Structure 1
Amino acid sequence: MTPILLSLAHFCDKHGPKVVSVTQVGNIGDISDGNELLVPNYSTDSYCESCLLHFPKENTSGVRSMRSFMNDIPFVTTQYSTIRYQLLSYITKKAFSEESMVYDGSPLVFFDDTRGLNLVIGFKLYDENARGNERRYSFIFTVDSKDQDFATKILSDHWVLMINSFTKMIDYIKLRHKQKLDHSRNGSVGNPFISTDYLKVNKLKTATNLLELTDDPMLFVRIHKWNSFIIHSLISTSSSP
């Protein structure tokens, strides 16, 4: 089966393009429980809070991953891919390059022998703690194949599913973000202990996680479930070349 990946990436103020989460499927046709995709309790020194993946109550076995099964097929979401780390690094750098990336929900598609076929949809969230008062993200669908015709057929056959799925996820994140902003602003109106000058000046730019921006501690669990459903739909209707 041609590897299919669904990723959430972020352009971090401190670290540049970073993968926040990647969802993959375990080996199909083998006796596999997805262990080959799990990552150890890795050092987070190369991540700041804005680009760090958080699952609620990360398990105590030293593995920071989320795994679920559909029809006995394992789906795993991790901070990075132990077997496609370099590939995802190349993809995120290309996705966030200034000459190609947009953040208005328009799809971007690119292919080469190094990165395979990729569909990228970018979006921004307002954050006064970020450089330029905004944080930039993208959802990325990757077909890891050098066969351009085959990879393109997978994307074209599932174009509506992919666009609608990414749009649904982005709309949910933006809605939660707007609700969080509205709640924060409404809470500050008329509060004698919060200076309007302080609110305007907000001097220190600090790293803010997507969970905090949306006020949803289950966000990455939802993304894992969405991604698993999408990949399962793809592999159920696609065949290897």
Structure 2
Amino acid sequence: MCTQSFKADNINKLDNNAFLSSSAPSSATCLSCQLILPTSSPSNAIRTIDEESHLIFISTQYPSSQSRYRALRQIVMKALSVETTHDGLNPIMFGDSTAGYSITMVFKIKDSTARGSERKYALIITAEDESELVHSWSLVVENLREFIKLIKDRITELELSKTMNNTELMDNNERFYRRSLPKSKNLTELLEDKKLFIKIHLWASNLLCNLN
């Protein structure tokens, strides 16, 4: 999921169709990475407006710009497989003048259907100006940590509930006896929250608004 902010001279007349189209084929998205919105949503995109700052925030599966998609793909790959800290829990900043500069925090979620029984995710803030990102380090990191904590607290709550109901043990036994094949789960399923990506959009929009 990618949330972008745009400045609009007249937000009431803004035609955002150009921003809602994806720059990558749907086949490039696996289920665990897919942006899934409630069935009541009119499109696979989220759009909100801050009338005070005249900023419009749009969240889609990918950025609409092909060049931005390529840069973001490179950033995500680095965040999840290359760039890391010694304990993997602290924020890290990397980038260049071509792809942009990023502050990222990686976190893991337990998932019995995934390889190694866990999935790795990252929250990433990108900017073209390195000095601007460095100046906003404290605000960005505080928000990243706060939202990751909310996600992990939700996972802990669900694990406790499953333990009390013995549902996790039953699922493990079912897979052990090969009565059912493990099915990949989306983040909304792992957290059992159909409005998760709407919450992420609102969180990201608020952070971007504070950074402008």
Q: TM class by shorter-chain length?
A: 0.7 to 0.9
Larger fraction in helix = 2
**Uncovered stretches (5+) of structure 2, i.e. residues with no partner:** none
Q: In structure 1, what is the Cα distance between the partners aligned to 2:55 and 2:140? A: 20
Note if 1:219 corresponds to 2:209.
no
- SS of the equivalent of 1:106 reads coil
Shift of 1:35: 3.4
My pick for the range that moved more, 214-223 or 133-142, is 214-223
Is the CA contact (8 Å cut-off) linking 2:175 and 2:181 kept in structure 1?
A: no
Shift of 1:108: 1.2
Moved more, 133-142 or 109-118: 109-118
- Contact 1:23/1:224 (<8 A) preserved: yes
Please tell me the residue identity of whatever aligns with 1:140.
I
Which aligned pairs between 1:1-241 and structure 2 lie closer than 5 A?
A: 21-29=1-9, 32-39=14-21, 44-57=26-39, 59-60=41-42, 63-71=43-51, 72-83=54-65, 84-98=68-82, 100-101=83-84, 104-143=88-127, 145=128, 151-188=129-166, 194=170, 197-198=173-174, 204-235=181-212
Residue 4 of structure 2: SS of its match in structure 1? strand
Mark the runs of 5 or more structure 1 residues left unpaired by the alignment: 1-20, 146-150, 236-241
CA RMSD of aligned residues (A): 2.6
Deviation at 1:25, TM superposition (A): 1.0
Question: Aligned-pair distance for 1:81?
Answer: 0.6
Asked whether the 8 Å contact 1:26–1:33 carries over to 2, the reply is no
Partner-residue secondary structure (3-state), 1:142: strand
Aligned length: 202
Give the TM-score normalised by the residue count of structure 2.
0.84
Q: Which has the higher strand share?
A: 1
Query: C-alpha separation between the residues in 1 aligned to 2:39 and 2:172?
Result: 37
- Give 1:89 deviation, angstroms: 1.1
Q: Aligned-pair distance for 1:38?
A: 1.0
Tell me the amino acid that sits aligned with residue 115 of structure 1: A
Partners of 1:30 and 1:105 lie apart in 2 by 42
Q: Is this contact kept in 1: 2:3–2:201, CA < 8 A?
A: yes
CA distance in 2, matches of 1:67, 1:219: 15
Q: Find the aligned partners of 2:203 and 2:118 in 1 and give their Cα distance.
A: 25
Contact 2:34–2:61 (Cα < 8 Å) also in 1: yes
For residues 19 and 131 of structure 2, the distance between their equivalents in structure 1, rounded to whole angstroms, comes to 26
- After TM superposition, the score normalised by the length of structure 1 is 0.74
Distance 1:106 1:169 in 2: 14
